[in-house]
Structure 1
Amino acid sequence: MKNRFSSIRYSYIISHFNGLFLTTVTILAILLSIYVLISPEWLTSNSIYLFIILYGLVAFFVSVYVGFRSSGDLKQRMDYLSVLITQFANGNYQSRIYFNEGDELSRIGNELNELGEKLQNQVKSLQRLADEKAELAKSAHKSAVIEERQRIARDLHDAVSQQLFALTMMSEASIKQLDINPELAKEQMMEVAYAALQAQTEMRALLLHLRPVHLSGDPLPKGIQKLVDELSQKSQIDFQLVINDNLKLSEATEEHVFRIIQESLSNILRHANATVVKIDISLRGNELFMHIADNGKGFDLEHDHAKKTSYGLKTMKERSEELGGTFTIRSNIDEGTYIDIRIPC
């Protein structure tokens, strides 16, 4: 209620009431002065009081009516400005507003239009830089392949090779215990099976990075569908993909989006222990919306600094921002992880 009475419309009415009060006091002072100093026959105390009362009543209703009518246009224009600012905050920089009055609000509207045009040009510049970067990436493809191979080799040495070594040691130990202590041998074989599953998952994630950096001529929906189908055949995860088959973006944007999906699936395979993964990619107005969710073990976003600054999440965030987009992640322990990405188109 307090906010309602502090609006522009009620401020206008209150200003009219202030004017009414000052006008009434002034007229009353003038009439009383004439009555005291001159005392004309036509001016009596009753006529003064009657005039002031009638004037006050009529002026009260006139003030309310004029206040509502005169503030209506201003309120409407302020609402237009508020909506335009909200559109800019949501990334819709193509919105514009036009006033013909030529006053201060018209000047503010024109300045906001110029701001929207500058923001739109900045987004276009970011996307143009992304296109140029994609061309440079193609020209440096050989060096990128070498670097990626070196990174995969390091990951293989640090993760898979150590897991395979552990498998070998546990297998030899379980064989020795098979005749002596069958129960212990059974427990060790269960550990071997679990370690083998972890190594298999790690290997799938590494092989996922060995896929081509580019879509190899396939449109984005087809490329992502192939990726999901391949992982569905090789893992027990239920992938739920929602993407429009007619989705068309610039070449650089498609490659960035493909790599973001690829990186997110790699993280899920390695760390999430998820059974269901949902991927939703769609155009909403003038922006591309991507939602990636899993029902895995999640992590503490506030305190797990290593996870929050991991290479995979950092890469996805950087790719989103290169396209002028926003990257948001939500996660809690045992509640899965949710990633939302919005990219202006």
Structure 2
Amino acid sequence: MRGLIRNSKREWAFYSGCATLVMMALVYIGWTRTHGNLPDVQWWTGWAAGLLLVDVAVAYLLGKRAERRIDQLQLAMKQAASNQGSVRLPELKADAFSETYLDFNRLMERQDANMKLLRAFGEQQVLEEAPTQEEAVLEERRRLARDLHDTVSQQLFALHMASSSLPKLMELAPEQGRQVMQQLIVMSSSAQKQMRGLIAQLRPMELQGRSLAEALDRWFPDYCRQNGLQGTLDLQENLKLSEAMEYQLFLIIQEAMANVVKHAEAKDVRLALGETNSQISLQIEDDGSGFRAEQIRTGAYGLSTMRERAQKLGGDAEILTKPGSGTRVRVWFPKI
């Protein structure tokens, strides 16, 4: 676009110069017909050259002014395309771009109105779905109880049986006893890993009677401690979030943290929640093993669920990762 603007400025200067030459020719013809004699040639040439330079300079300045107007419009369009809040252009008076600026502002006003309707509808839907989701949580806990019985409980029983016979075995066959001890270590490690995975799937009702910040202050450190993580919590003060947005954000955070426990093999995790002039932003970053980008598309890492929750309120989510470089989950909502 800048190349087009530069070419346009040259064209305006060229055509303006041509118009000046035509005007000078007409003046020349008119002067000779009415006065007969011309003024001094040097005077005439100097006057004509000065007029031509002034005309070209004026045309260039007008082109520069148009370039600034187009740059301003282009920047506003980029901001609007990246959901950077309510973008508006200044109102212009008696300007070639005034109608275009006005049309852009009208378009953004309609977009903001539509976004507010979408947000209101999404929040109402979330609040209406909350009782159903609580029932789903209860059902999920019943499923976890069955999983505990089928996996960890049976492994603990096997550990108990093997460890009970170990003292006698060490007396009669020490070498075989040491092998059993190694098996016990492997079995206990497996049971611990499965237990952590099941704990990661729990969805405690931490938001009841609390704001999101209060719930995270209570839940996040406990969750990290229970799962062997060093957690850092960075919450911006005085965040103003609707009830529906707090609910969705908390579920997204739980989903992302469960992924850290189950897949990341991380030691440190950082959760940051804040806002800018245009967005509410959530980031969860770990120092784990990471994974290949194509694995995200399989749905194993919960991106579709997190994105669906964010999109209910006009936002979106993404996972940034690569093998050996940790993982970052980013969720954002436009401010309206």
Look up the equivalent residue of 1:331 and give its one-letter code. Answer: T
Q: What secondary structure sits across from 2:283 in the alignment?
A: strand
RMSD between aligned residues: 3.6
Shift of 1:248: 2.2
Shift of 1:331: 1.0
Shift of 1:244: 2.3
Matched, 1:8 2:5: yes
Matched, 1:332 2:329: no
Shift of 1:224: 1.0
When normalised by structure 2's length, the TM-score is: 0.81
Matched, 1:107 2:96: no
Aligned-pair identity in percent equals 25
Look up the equivalent residue of 1:326 and give its one-letter code. Answer: D
Q: What secondary structure sits across from 1:236 in the alignment?
A: coil
Shift of 1:335: 1.3
When normalised by structure 1's length, the TM-score is: 0.79
Look up the equivalent residue of 1:88 and give its one-letter code. Answer: A
Highest relative contact order (Cα 8 Å, sep 6+), 1 or 2? 2
> Following the alignment from structure 1 to structure 2, what is the Cα–Cα distance between the partners of residues 313 and 286?
23
Q: What secondary structure sits across from 1:181 in the alignment?
A: helix
Q: State the number of aligned residues.
A: 327
- Output one character per residue of 1:210-249: Cα deviation in whole Å (capped at 9) or x when no partner: x11x610101111011111211332321101100242221
**For the structure 1 residues 284 and 67, does the alpha-carbon distance in structure 2 shift closer, same or farther, using more than 3 Å as the test?**
same
> Following the alignment from structure 1 to structure 2, what is the Cα–Cα distance between the partners of residues 22 and 131?
62
* Counterpart for residue 283 of structure 1: 275
Q: What secondary structure sits across from 1:96 in the alignment?
A: coil
> Following the alignment from structure 2 to structure 1, what is the Cα–Cα distance between the partners of residues 229 and 111?
41
Q: What secondary structure sits across from 1:131 in the alignment?
A: helix
**For the structure 1 residues 83 and 164, does the alpha-carbon distance in structure 2 shift closer, same or farther, using more than 3 Å as the test?**
same
Q: What secondary structure sits across from 1:329 in the alignment?
A: strand
**For the structure 1 residues 66 and 198, does the alpha-carbon distance in structure 2 shift closer, same or farther, using more than 3 Å as the test?**
same
Aligned residues of 2:296 and 2:303 also touching (Cα < 8 A): no
Aligned residues of 2:144 and 2:198 also touching (Cα < 8 A): no
- Output one character per residue of 1:48-107: Cα deviation in whole Å (capped at 9) or x when no partner: xx6896467435522442123222432232222123212212323422224334666222
Q: Equivalences for 1:69-108 in 2 at 5 Å?
A: 69-101=61-93, 105-108=97-100
Aligned residues of 2:229 and 2:267 also touching (Cα < 8 A): yes
- Give ranges in structure 2 of 5+ residues lacking alignment: none
* Counterpart for residue 130 of structure 1: 122
* Counterpart for residue 161 of structure 1: 150
Matched, 1:273 2:265: yes
**For the structure 1 residues 151 and 124, does the alpha-carbon distance in structure 2 shift closer, same or farther, using more than 3 Å as the test?**
farther
* Counterpart for residue 190 of structure 1: 185
Shift of 1:276: 0.5
* Counterpart for residue 322 of structure 1: 312
**For the structure 1 residues 141 and 8, does the alpha-carbon distance in structure 2 shift closer, same or farther, using more than 3 Å as the test?**
closer
* Counterpart for residue 229 of structure 2: 237
- Output one character per residue of 1:110-169: Cα deviation in whole Å (capped at 9) or x when no partner: 221122122212221222122211331244356434443455356x26xx7335545655
* Counterpart for residue 221 of structure 1: 213
1:203 to 153, 174, 198: 198
Q: What secondary structure sits across from 1:140 in the alignment?
A: helix
**For the structure 1 residues 107 and 169, does the alpha-carbon distance in structure 2 shift closer, same or farther, using more than 3 Å as the test?**
same
Q: What secondary structure sits across from 2:325 in the alignment?
A: coil
Shift of 1:314: 1.6
* Counterpart for residue 14 of structure 2: 17
Aligned residues of 1:299 and 1:332 also touching (Cα < 8 A): yes
* Counterpart for residue 249 of structure 1: 241
> Following the alignment from structure 1 to structure 2, what is the Cα–Cα distance between the partners of residues 141 and 304?
25
Aligned residues of 1:20 and 1:56 also touching (Cα < 8 A): no
Q: Which moved more, 1:194-203 or 1:176-185?
A: 176-185
Q: Equivalences for 1:139-158 in 2 at 5 Å?
A: 139-140=131-132, 143-149=135-141, 151-152=143-144, 156=147
- Output one character per residue of 1:247-276: Cα deviation in whole Å (capped at 9) or x when no partner: 221110111111111111111111111100
